[in-house]
Chains A and B, each alone.
Chain A
Amino acid sequence: MRTLKFILRKEFRQIFRDPSILRVILIMPVIQLLILPWAADYEIKNIKLAVVDHDHSEYSRQLINKITSSHYFILTDYSSSYEHSLEKIEKDKADLVLQIPDHFEKDLVKEDEARLFIASNAINGTKANLGSAYLQNIIRDYNRVIRTEWIQYPRFSPETQIEVTSSNWFNPLMNYKYFMVPGILVILLTMVGTNLAAVNIVKEKEIGTIEQINVTPIRKYHFILGKLIPFWIMGLVILTIGLTIAGLAYGIIPKGSFITIYVFAAVYLLAVLGLGLLISTYSVNQQQAMLLSFFLMMIFILLGGLYTSIDSMPEWAKWITRFNPVSYFIEVMRMVVLKGSSLADIKYHLFAMLGFAAVFNSWAIISYRKRS
């Protein structure tokens, strides 16, 4: 115990002696947490629409009016040439093209049936899908308006109607920040924690000071614990700062209890720091350690379920996410912050994380050798 105390004192001194890195560690997450959540808005709006109108009739004009008065679309181009509007798509001046063919009004009135064509830039499939779905909805509404203009419906409409009411629970205003802020906080915490731990032991190797530690009677687990505890405390400090920002800047106050978050975060930090130390023991210089941790971070973060849904991944990728600590924490944050889940609700996640922490740290202790 006494040995540990001395090691801890050394480690803390080392951290506080380099104010530049300390500043970076504390300020960077704060700035990013203040800026980035505003970017995460997936609601599709301001879709740039180019209309190709071959008909120039009363109906085509009404339809265009109806589309532009919805707040989803901005009319960026109006022409009578399809080639011209395709060029607009090529130049990113339009996302969608609506083509109104010749005799649209005439066909609709005389033939009972008319056609419209939609072409959508589908490089981003979701955006294309949603955009054309919105457009179709508006067209369907317009269709209904026309129909009632021409025919009187009987009391029970011949058109079967299933009325759908949809409600959005836990976040009825569909505020994206409720969802992104906790997620970004998790990612920042993970990056800072893993990277700090990953380069730490390697640095001693590179500078050569590890030799001095190796000749002392310090035990392997003392050494690892000495490295772990300061970063663990720093991680919790960053979490606290992050939660304060979430509360003050975004008004996000967890529905569940802070204790649940802290309990889980404490275990989580042990796991990611253990992973960092593990990377550290396997690398010979800082460059290697950084590259390795960057490689793992990128996979963990992009497959963590914050940006794209885990459900839609192929089986093998889902299997990877089961070994991805980040995805557990993001899910827990979402459950506790938005749904008010308790420790009992997240017990499965907690046990998984305890497992990670145990495996990574004991692996790190075992693979750390006192000789080079």
Chain B
Amino acid sequence: MKQFFAFVKKEFFHIWRDKKTMFILLGMPVVQIVIFGFALTNEVKNANIAILDNSKDAATASLTAELDASRYFVLEKNLVTYTQVNEEFKKGKIKLAIVFPQHFGEDLQHFNKAQVQIIADAADPNTANQLTNYANSVITDYQNRITNGKKLPYTINTEIRMLYNPQLKGAFNFVPGVMAMVLLLVCTMMTAITIVKEKEMGTMEIMLVSPMRPQMVVLAKAVPYLLLSTINITSILLLSVFVLEVPINGNLALLGFESILFTLVSLSLGLLISSGAASQQTAMFISLVGMFLPTVMLSGFMFPVENMPLPLRIISNIVPAKWYYNIVRSVMIKGVGLEVIWKETLILGGMMTFFLTMAIKRFKIRLA
């Protein structure tokens, strides 16, 4: 055991000596959680729109003003001809165009019925969908207002309550996601690289001839990063509570335990990658280029997993971040306890055991 700690101490010196790396390691999560917490939201706001008003009457004017006043839209341009619509879309200046036909106001007055056309730039289908919905609801509101007074018979009123996140803040969704991503990638990459670095520099050989068991040599590498991650977890949680105002509704100890468990999964995965990679560059490519996008896209915080086609839903199960994201969301925001997330916890535990056994098994005592 004393030997083991001597090795851990050595690793600490390594990290401590490289101040730049340490600074980035501890500063990166802080900067990222703040940037992403404030900047990322799935909601679409302030989209530029153009209006082609062929009618130019009081009704279209007030509808235009209302669209412009809503927080979703910014009136970028008033168009004159239909061909301009296409041009503006092509220049990428607008996301939505609204076309009022001739006699819009007259029709509305005389026949109680008028038409309006919404054209969305579906190059980004998600935004297009949402903007069309928003424009629709602005128009419906307007329509309800002119009907007001005349109370209609047989009306069903609906009341909507938004649970957990009444202000619909993006941070509630993205803090758990970014947490999963930062912890996973930093831990995996760093452990993978430090071990491969020793191989590359030749110092691994020196350690292998020491009386320590080779597996211990490798495990000692992971310990300092576990400690660094604990600091990162703490700073991320402090930031999200005090700066981003995302509450911790559940048990803090449980959240801490799960986070450390997830860190262990990432560290074991790093060890596994290091056992297969020959150069730092390969280790980096596998842990970064290979894992970054799958983590972003399959963990469920960008795209809901239940929407994916079946093969991908199955694949998403092997993404550790998916389970951790579920756990953080449940514990932190919904405030539930272990009785709800025991399955996720077991899976993470299983993954850790699997990665660790594989890593130790594949670890070569001899250098090629």
Provide the residues of chain A in CB contact with B86, threshold 8 Å: 169
Interface residues contributed by chain B, number (CB under 8 Å): 125
B303 CB contact (under 8 Å) in A41, A159, A297, A309:
A41
- The number of A-B residue pairs with CB atoms under 8 Å apart is 393
A297 to B45, CA, bound (A): 25
User: Quick check: A164 and B162 within 8 Å, CB to CB?
Assistant: no
Provide the residues of chain A in CB contact with B199, threshold 8 Å: none
CB distance from B335 to the nearest CB of A (A): 9
User: Quick check: B45 and A312 within 8 Å, CB to CB?
Assistant: yes
- Contact mask for chain B residues 273-294; partner A; CB cutoff 8 A; 1 contact, 0 none: 0000111111011101110111
User: Quick check: A115 and B159 within 8 Å, CB to CB?
Assistant: yes
Provide the residues of chain B in CB contact with A6, threshold 8 Å: none
A262 to B126, CA, bound (A): 27
User: Quick check: A92 and B326 within 8 Å, CB to CB?
Assistant: yes
By secondary structure, the B interface counts as helix
Provide the residues of chain B in CB contact with A302, threshold 8 Å: 36, 40, 296
With A116-B158, A192-B289, A312-B43 as contacts: A295 and B89 at CB distance below 8 Å: no
User: Quick check: A126 and B130 within 8 Å, CB to CB?
Assistant: yes
User: Quick check: B43 and A286 within 8 Å, CB to CB?
Assistant: no
Provide the residues of chain A in CB contact with B290, threshold 8 Å: 24, 28
B14-58 with Cβ < 8 A to chain A: 18, 20-21, 24-25, 28, 31-32, 35-36, 38-48
Provide the residues of chain B in CB contact with A38, threshold 8 Å: 308-309, 311-312
CB distance from A310 to the nearest CB of B (A): 9
A292 to B28, CA, bound (A): 9
User: Quick check: A114 and B156 within 8 Å, CB to CB?
Assistant: yes
Provide the residues of chain B in CB contact with A171, threshold 8 Å: 122-123, 125, 128
With A40-B303, A287-B193 as contacts: A168 and B120 at CB distance below 8 Å: yes
- Contact mask for chain A residues 28-57; partner B; CB cutoff 8 A; 1 contact, 0 none: 110010011011111111101000000000
Is there a chain B Cβ closer than 8 Å to A89's Cβ? yes
User: Quick check: B117 and A299 within 8 Å, CB to CB?
Assistant: no
Interface residues contributed by chain A, number (CB under 8 Å): 123
A14 to B285, CA, bound (A): 17
With A40-B303, A188-B293, A287-B193 as contacts: A339 and B123 at CB distance below 8 Å: yes
Is there a chain A Cβ closer than 8 Å to B232's Cβ? no
User: Quick check: B161 and A123 within 8 Å, CB to CB?
Assistant: no
Is there a chain B Cβ closer than 8 Å to A294's Cβ? yes
User: Quick check: A125 and B36 within 8 Å, CB to CB?
Assistant: no
Stretch at the interface among B4-12, B134-142, B262-270, B348-356: B134-142
14 contacts across the A-B interface (CB closer than 8 A): A122-B165, A125-B43, A132-B160, A150-B153, A162-B115, A164-B139, A166-B118, A167-B117, A187-B293, A294-B185, A297-B292, A301-B296, A309-B44, A317-B38
